[in-house]
Copies of this chain bind each other. A is one copy, B any other.
Amino acid sequence: MSHLENVLNALGNRTEVSLSELIEFASIPSVSAQPAHKPDMERAAAWLSERLKRAGLQTVERWPTAGHPAVYAEYLEAGEDAPTLLVYGHYDVQPPDPLEKWDTPPFTPTVKGERLYGRGVSDDKGPLLLTVQVVDAYLSTHGQLPLNLKFLFEGEEEVGSKHLNDLVAQNVGRLKADFVLSADGGMWSAETPSLTVGARGLAALELTVRGPGKDLHSGRHGGSVHNPLHALATLIAGLHDEAGRVTVPGFYDGIAELTSPQRDGIRQLPFTDEAYLTQTGAPAVYGESGYSTLERQWHRPTLEVNGMWGGYTGEGTKTVLPAEAHAKISCRLVPGQEPGRIAALLRQHLEDKLPPGVTLEVHGSDHGARAYHLPEGHPGAVVARDVLAGLYGVAPLDVGMGGSIPVLETFQSVLGLDTVFFSFAVGDEDIHAPNEFFRIPRLYEGQKAWAQFWWTLAEKRQP
């Protein structure tokens, strides 16, 4: 029996333990966006460090940042001739709101059939943890790994990886690798393996519209001063035209039109709007006219309001004309769009279009990332395609990603490294929404794939 087969057998014998470890990890409410969860972030980092040590890694470090710490670990004993990979993932999770929409408590991971429900199980604790479990299997069966590995697990992915750029810049030497293999991301579907070859970027900001100096009685004052909620609605409504295009001047500058091969490739994918509507529960698809749904998701930039609020939002009636109204906006970017420039254009547009009788305050967000595209024929992509084809019996699809991983930009610009996505999450697992889940069989499938990826990459390097 080969070395790899022993590792796969060991993993096959440990599936229950693997799952119970994930349940334990996902029970820690490591919500990076909410200061109240700071102690939980520390607990999650400590749990992860401990698990890395237990896997047999000698070097496990807590890398502090101005925000939440990253966890770093390395294995360099494969020698200078072996490949070196930087494995990326994140142990922080999205806030669980709205809590009342969860069928089971978000931080009490719950098994139902072949699914594990809980915040963060799919994004990104399950996909992250399985990489550590593969290390454990290699080291416990043979005492060695076929390649050098560096693990960088951050705690701020869900808040825009604010401090990762600095952290990476401070550790350029230690993070040297051939490329990044990311445990974050997500596959096309549970049935069809896929390789993500691009991701949209992100620019975000928050705005506050102010009217009167204090909340007023809407009976007494209604109609005599501008209601900030009306002004905000006017601003937001004006951000798209009737064709679904963003109205911010310059927003589409520098973007390449989709090529015929790109459009053909997308048309051949097993995707229908009907199935998509069933999956999302939306009554209709909607977006920039002239593009199909997947073209909009992967190749066109968007502007979305993520939150909007003001006035009385509780039960019953309160006839108030509020002093303030708020909105959070994020844009998804495609190659050619610079996050800082897009944020500045949006800010300028909001100022230009501000209705009379109110003032505007725009808070920039650090949440920014350029779009990314994996070069054709990248060695990591080749191995990934081989492994996935072997595991699932069909050639994986090349797909785009509507979402953003700001670290792609960091790894590219600071370390000069490409990133290969190799996550075993699936795009329909309700990440960032209530009732997030992870498909339990994919924990073992992911382990097998990562074990094979490392083995295959190392084999290819052999003379």
Contact = CB atoms under 8 A, between A and B. Distances in A.
Interface of A: 32-35, 94-95, 97-98, 101, 158-160, 186, 200, 202, 204, 211-227, 229-230, 232-240, 244, 276, 280-288, 293, 296-297, 300-302, 304-323, 325-328, 330, 332, 356-359, 365, 367, 401-404, 427, 430-435
Contacts of A312: 95, 97, 306-307, 328
Given A215-B434, A224-B276, A225-B285, A306 B332 contact: no
Could you say which of A276, A312, A359 has the most chain B C-beta atoms within 10 Å of its C-beta?
A312
A306 B328 contact: no
Number of copies: 2
Given A212-B282, A281-B212, A229 B236 contact: yes
A97 B282 contact: no
A317 B306 contact: yes
Contact of A306 (B319, B358, B401, B430): B319
Contact of A317 (B159, B222, B300, B316): B159
B308 A321 contact: no
Contact of A357 (B216, B286, B365): B286
Contact of A309 (B226, B309, B320, B432): B309
17 contacts: A32-B316, A212-B281, A213-B282, A214-B280, A214-B433, A215-B432, A217-B403, A218-B304, A220-B297, A223-B296, A224-B287, A229-B327, A233-B236, A283-B359, A306-B317, A307-B311, A307-B322
Contacts of A215: 98, 101, 432-434
A235 B230 CA distance: 10
A22 to B, nearest CB: 21
A240 B229 CA distance: 12
A212 B278 CA distance: 10
A280 B219 contact: no
Could you say which of A236, A308, A401, A432 has the most chain B C-beta atoms within 10 Å of its C-beta?
A308
A434 B328 CA distance: 25
A159 to B, nearest CB: 6
B332 A219 contact: yes
A312 B216 CA distance: 25
